[in-house]
Amino acid sequence: MLTVTLRTLRTRWVTLVGTFVALALGVALIATMGLGLASTWEAPAREPERFAGAAVVVRGADELRVPSPIGERKQPLARPRGVAPEVAKALAAKARTVADRSFPVRVSRRDGDDTLVGHPWSVATFGGYRLNAGHEPRAGEVVLAGSPALVGTAVRVRTPAGVSTRTVAGVVAPVRFERALFFSDAEAARLSPRIDHLVVEAAPELVRTLVGPGADVQVLTGDDRRRADPDPDRDRDALIAMNALLGTAGGVTTFVCVFVVASTFAFAVAQRRRDIGLLRTAGATPRQIRRMLVIEAAVVGVLASATGCVLGSHGAPILAGLLVDEKLAPSWFTIGAHTWPYQVAFWTGLLVALAGVTVATVRAGRIRAVEALREASIDKAMTPGRWLFGVGLLATGVGMLVWRLLADPGDALHRKTYTTQPMLLITAVALLAPILVRPLTRLLAWPPAQLPGATGMLVLQNAAAGVRRTAAVAAPVLVTVALAGSLLGATATIDEAKAAEIREQTRADLVVRADDTSAGFDDRTVARIRAVPGATVMVSATTAVYRLEDGHALIRSDARAVDARGLSGARTLPVEAGSLDGLDDTSIVVNTEWAQHTVGERVDVWLGDGTRTSLRIAAVIAAGTGDNGVYLTRHHARDVAPDRLDVTWAPGADRVAGDAAVRAALEPIGARVLTRAQWIEAADPSVSRQTRVGYAVVLGITLVYTGIALANTMVMGTSDRAPDLATLRLTGATKRQILVLVGAEALTVVVVGAVLGSIVTALNLLGIWGSLAALSVRSPIVLPWQTLGATLAACAVVAVVAAMLSAVGALRTRPIESAGARE
């Protein structure tokens, strides 16, 4: 039987190559994504930078720690604390200390504006700064990184205190971890009174003793001093984002690879129905047939999986380079030395190949010897097992959509949900495809069948009769259209819902956002805006609140600290219970995601700086798409400067003059003044480049693979029909007519796959639309027509070209020889 197996592999080389290519590329994709994912699990070790020259650094608390029945829970504070003045005074009394302050600044020069961070000069030495020219800054002077030619020049500097012109006293060499502007210590203290870090020239044990165990500070030594660097978690955060992207990509590509490989191997076995019948005629038992097919799959599986692992080792660095070039990964991101992705990819490929063949061999072993003598056989594509799994998966997929709609509609908007949900439905529709293929092909091929000539009639009969072949060839188109439509349609629909929320909730005529280099709006600026005739101004600041849910989960909620009197006039929030007018210094507005959301109930929360308080629920708003956070008064965020002003004009006010007055008042601090329309456009979530590029990478890789799989399956299907094409030639058909027939059949199959994929897309997007409606968001379903059209066109081109090239190869053989292949 082994000899027969090897000879079969040699004689059916097209099927062999087709299954080998599908499996090798699938394993390569799994290995590539696995290597990328494994490389996101550990950030590179970094040495302290800003305070590399300091032995001990005291820093204010930046974490909220809350005890719970299952241990201490932690969350980063929205407003990290500074070093308390009494702590700084106590340490200064026992050792030499140097206070560090950090604040945003913008420098304007002839060659443009630069966004920098301000520090006192005394901390420069700890970060390795050295003067290259000039002297240390005095009153009215600054030191920055640049050419010695800058010494003595004047620069315009915008700080939280306003705009001023300063002289460049000296220059330093640039460093990689920040772009700094240094002031004298006295001026830095005036511009930013809070002490962010305190360098203490004393033994760590003495410093810890002086601050005491209950002090709200951290004493950093050794590698822990990195916590005082700018954005110390940037590497970790970048890897978390990468992990999410590659995790999604890995899940999608693994599903597609398994789906395509299993379908290809099953189709390859189905193509050999007549060969198996001949073997049965020669005396082979069902057990021998099954063993032969499993051995073939094992040989191809081992070779193709090994080849795929080699391809994956070369593909992973290319993927990493692409992610870095597109700014989706940090510049240092590379593929590490990991072995488990190869193990997973290899064994997944081999097991899928064996599983696909094993399922098909159950039917193959039942083929009777007499079937080898038939010119035609009934194509019974739907078996009891296929019915069972198809209906079961369809019921499960639809059931999950309904369950989310009724029990947890917000879950449908999470990326993990709307990327995995289509997989169930794709598999279900693929299993049930044969019962849909016949009516679909008859419907699609009926119009051309009415035209003069036999081409249309043959397209109709061939596609409808070869149900298994049509379903197998349509499978890559199904998964391509379903994934592109479901994923891109889901993000577009959710983005449109977010935009609709912004449009409905924004009532202000002007929205003013603080500049990125500004510490917010001070009281004088707010007073000037409020003094503009006809202006009603609501002031708000970004903060957060924390709650301990179910006694063990410390959950952070984004919050806005607002003027309670102006909230209802500036924004239209989806209130489900209570009233916004009830918001005061003793209350809070929460959303329906909170476990406690009964009006009048008291909730224990921690504010953005970690202060614990108990507040009464004044109103409950719908969670919406997830951006409807928590509202409380500015009393609970006194140390946070407002970063947004909502300006509403009174009826009859001179809006043109008012707009001009507001812009003039804000021009010195560089705040952005946007009209309502401009604000809605700027806040539109669909403009996120990272989201677009991320999905382009995920779908691009997947769709390229399914395109290759489509061409591969089309070649396998067309080459198997060489005797049929020869028969057509013997009956008088020309080569051109046969090629037109093959191309028309390929187009029909592509359209069938597109229709099946559209069914999956429709079910998924209807589920998301229903969940949005349940969340009180009224928004239409958005379909990426342009992308779907391009995808379908690409599938059509690939299918037609592959089918016609394969047919051209088949037509080179003399018709009488190809027709004799049946005998």
Residue 195: beta bridge partners? 83
User: Rounded to the nearest 5 degrees, what angle is found at the Cα of 400, between the Cα atoms of 394 and 405?
Assistant: 130
Of residues 371 and 55, which shows the higher confidence score? Answer: 55
Structure token pair of residue 423: 């997989």
For residue 687, give the 3-state DSSP assignment: helix
Q: How far apart are CA 300 and CA 23, in angstroms?
A: 9
Instruction: Give the C-alpha distances (Å, rounded to integers) separating 367 from 176, 387, 476, 503, 804.
Output: 71, 20, 27, 64, 31
- The residue with greater pLDDT, 384 or 623, is 623
* Angle, in degrees to the nearest 10, between helices 13-38 and 689-719: 160
Note the pLDDT of residue 63.
Answer: 87
What is the residue whose two structure tokens read 């995920």?
698
Measured CA distances, 490 to 321, 412, 420 (Å) = 28, 10, 12
Q: Alpha-carbon distance 478 to 791, whole Å?
A: 11
- Give the C-alpha separation, 230 to 234, whole Å: 9
pLDDT given at position 112:
65
CB 755 within 8 A of CB 389: no
168 band by pLDDT with thresholds 50, 70 and 90: very high
Weakest-pLDDT range from 265-279, 444-458, 766-780: 444-458
Q: How far apart are CA 412 and CA 28, in angstroms?
A: 31
Side chain identity at residue 82, one-letter code: G
Q: Residue 375: what pLDDT? A: 46
- Provide the token pair at 191: 């511009």
The predicted pLDDT at position 460 comes to 61
Low-confidence winner among 40-54, 63-77, 256-270 (lowest mean pLDDT): 256-270
Specify whether the CB–CB gap between 707 and 794 falls below 8 A: yes
pLDDT digits (tens, 9 = 90+) for 660-712: 999 988 877 777 899 999 998 887 766 456 666 767 777 777 778 888 878 87
Q: Report whether pLDDT(7) > 70.
A: no
8 Å CB contact between 499 and 680: yes
Instruction: For Cα atoms 190, 191, 196, give the angle at the middle one, nearest 5 degrees.
Output: 95
Helix ranges, 365-488 (H): 384-407, 415-449, 455-465, 467-483
Residue among 427, 399, 402 at smallest CA distance from 757: 427
714 confidence band (pLDDT: 50, 70, 90)? confident
Task: Specify the amino acid at residue 198.
Answer: L
Mean pLDDT value of segment 249-267: 79
Nearest-angstrom CA–CA distance, 51 and 57 = 8
pLDDT value for 454: 62
Express each pLDDT in 604-655 by its tens digit. Answer: 999 998 899 999 999 999 888 877 889 999 999 888 888 899 999 999 889 9
Q: Which amino acid is at 163?
A: V
Q: Give the pLDDT confidence of 73-90 residue by residue, as tens digits.
A: 888 888 888 898 999 999
Nearest to 118 by CA among 167, 169, 180: 180
pLDDT band at 545 (very low <50, low <70, confident <90, very high): very high
Dist CA 396 CA 423 (whole Å): 11
SS3 516: coil
pLDDT in tens, 457-508: 666 666 656 677 777 778 888 888 998 888 888 888 988 888 888 888 899 9
E-strand stretches of 550-666: 553-562, 575-578, 587-591, 602-606, 612-621, 630-633, 644-649
More confident residue, 37 or 14: 37
pLDDT at 477: 87
Interval 523-546 mean pLDDT: 91
What is the pLDDT, as a whole number, of residue 406?
82
pLDDT band at 372 (very low <50, low <70, confident <90, very high): very low
The amino acid occupying position 391 is V
**Rg, the chain, Cα only:** 34
The DSSP string of 7-21 is HHHHHTHHHHHHHHH
pTM: predicted TM-score of the whole model, two decimal places: 0.78
* pLDDT of 566 over the 90 cut: no
Helices (H), 683-774: 689-719, 722-730, 735-774
The Cα–Cα gap between 58 and 83 comes to 7
pLDDT of residue 689: 62
**pLDDT at residue 198 tops 60:** yes
List, for residues 389-400, the tens digit of each pLDDT value. 888 988 998 888
CA 575/CA 581 separation, integer angstroms: 11
Q: What is the pLDDT of residue 699?
A: 75
Residue 698: both structure tokens together: 């995920």
Distance CA 258, CA 264 (A): 10
Cβ neighbours for 608, distance < 8 A, ≥ 6 positions apart: 77, 78, 79, 543, 544, 545, 559, 637, 640
Question: Which neighbouring-strand residues pair with 65?
Answer: 74
The pLDDT of 351-377, averaged and rounded, is 64
pLDDT per residue as tens digits for the range 335-344:
988 999 999 9
Two tokens, residue 263? 């379908």
CB 530 within 8 A of CB 662: no
Kindly tell me if the per-residue pLDDT of 322 is higher than 80.
yes
Work out the mean pLDDT of the chain and round it to a whole number. Answer: 83
261-277: average pLDDT: 72
Q: What confidence score (pLDDT) does residue 459 get?
A: 65
Q: Strand, helix or coil at 142? A: strand
The candidate with the shortest Cα–Cα distance to 182, out of 55, 67, 52, 50, is: 50
Percent of the chain past pLDDT 70, that is, above it, reads: 86
Specify the pLDDT at position 211.
86
* DSSP designation for 821: G
3-state DSSP call for residue 368? coil
pLDDT of residue 602: 93
Given a contact cutoff of 8 angstroms between Cβ atoms, the answer to whether 361 and 268 are in contact is no
Nearest residue to 804 via CA among 748, 745, 749, 751 = 745
